[in-house]
Structures are given as C-alpha cells and as structure tokens.
Amino acid sequence: MPTFFERRQLVVPGDLLAEGDYIAGENTFKLDNKIYASRIGLVDYEDKKVNVVALRAFYIPRVGDTVIGTVVEVGFNGWVVDINAPYQALLRASEVLNRPFKPQKDDLTQVLDVGDLVVAKIASYDRTHNPQLSVDEPGLGKITRGQIVKITPTKVPRVIGKKGSMISMIKQETGCHIILGQNGVILVTGKNPEDEELAIMAIHKIEEEAHTTGLTDRILQMIRREKEKKGGG
C-alpha cells in the first residue's frame, strides 16, 4: 500500500497519490483502488485518508455556513443574492420582514435593493435546488457600515486560524468587528477607517502567505509595527 508523495508536496490533477487500502478525501478521487488528485494543491495523508488542500477552488454552499452576498435582483417575493458561488442564492421576503409578506402593501426595494450587501446563513441547499438564505439570527441582515475584503474561499480557514486564534488576535489588536463569510467575503467594521485599513492589510497578508508557518506571530508583529508608525507620526 504505497503512497507516492510527501506530506505538503504540490500535486496537480491526475497525480497518483496512493494505491491500495486508502480513502479518497477532499479534492481526490478513487479509480481501480488508486487515489488521484483532482485539483492543484498540497497533499495530506491522514491515517488512511488522502486529502488535497486546494490552492485554487471556488465556494460551494453548505447548509449552516455564514456568507456575505450582494443583492443582484429584486423578485416578486424575495431577492436573488450573489454569494460568490456557481449558484445564486434566494432570500425570501417573509424571512426578512418577520411577518407574512403582502405583495400589495410591502415594497421590497424599500427593505433591500440591488447592490445592497447582506450577511446571511445558508438555510438549505442540495444538487437540485439553489441555496436559500435565512437572516433570523442576531448579527445577520443588511450591512450598513464597514468595509468589504474578498479572498479566495479556500483560504478562509487560515484567516480563522487554529480555534479562531488568528481572527481573535486581529479583532483584539485592531479593535475592529470582523464578520467572516465562508464564501471568502469578509466584513470589517471599526471605530475609524484607519483601524479598518489595518485589519484589511493583515487579511491580505494572510491570503498571500497562507501556506507558510508561524503566520499568526508575524501578523501580530506587523500590526504592532504599523500601529507604532501611526502613533509616532
């Protein structure tokens, strides 16, 4: 039962990763008892499971994910929201209004219009239906202030860090409130634009250096350095 690559080695689609009694994990597939990569990324052998951490991928909705999307269309009884995925999401009017929706009385554009940003949760999604969004939890709904950063969806776990270490560090150091969409869209709200800029700078640095080690410490140093520069000048 051999494996053909070292851990964290770069592989491309079609590379033979392992042969024999292994389980095909993320971004891999099994054919005739052999496991191949299906995306460019870094291999990871984890007991009997073979994974590839993709370097290039797009966001695929999952029920329960928090996402940030843009309203692209106002329909008869809801909105169509672009969530940066292959499928557009639907947000029903009754969901937002918290009461039955009356087409004669309610003007949907008064609530959310094309171009508005919303924080929402994926309520349902499967192969046959486009994702449906819900905003019935505190913190979800229309975004009124803050700045948006977009990163590759595969790098979202890196911005969160181990048990949220990275994100809580950035929050603490910059004093910004950060909402992370699993689709790679991040909302940063701070007391002033300078704090927001600092947090955005940190997020971009994480995206660029996602595959390196000791990143949390380096980001912390960078933020402190920048703060000093501003404080001194």
Partner 1 sequence: MSQKVEKLIDKKGLRLDGRKPDELRPIKIEVGVLSNADGSAYIEQGKNKILAAVYGPKELHPKHLALPDRMVLRCRYHMAPFSVQERKSPAPSRREVELSKVIREALEPAVFVEYYPRTAVDVFIEVLQADGSTRCTSITAASLALADAGIPMRDLVAACSAGKVEDMIVLDLMDLEDKVGTADVPVAYMPNLGVITLLQMDGILTSEEFEKAVNLAIDGCKKIYAMQREALKAKYTSVKEVEE
List of residues contacting partner 1 (CB under 8 A): 10, 12-16, 27, 29, 31, 36, 38-40, 54-58, 60, 86-88, 127-128, 208-209, 211-212
The Cα 181–Cα 191 span in angstroms is: 21
Q: Write down the least CB distance from residue 105 to partner 1, Å.
A: 31
For partner 1, the closer of residues 8 and 191 by Cβ is 8
Q: Write down the least CB distance from residue 12 to partner 1, Å.
A: 5
3 DSSP assignment: B
For partner 1, the closer of residues 1 and 31 by Cβ is 31
Evaluate whether 67 touches 131 at the Cβ level (below 8 Å): no
3-state helix/strand/coil string of 71-125: EEEECCCEEEEECCCCCCEEEEHHHHHCCCCCCCCCCHHHHCCCCCEEEEEEEEE
Place of tokens 């994702």: 131
Q: Write down the least CB distance from residue 188 to partner 1, Å.
A: 24
The Cα 108–Cα 136 span in angstroms is: 17
For partner 1, the closer of residues 54 and 67 by Cβ is 54
For partner 1, the closer of residues 58 and 225 by Cβ is 58
For partner 1, the closer of residues 97 and 114 by Cβ is 114
Q: Write down the least CB distance from residue 122 to partner 1, Å.
A: 16
Q: Write down the least CB distance from residue 218 to partner 1, Å.
A: 11
Evaluate whether 79 touches 131 at the Cβ level (below 8 Å): no
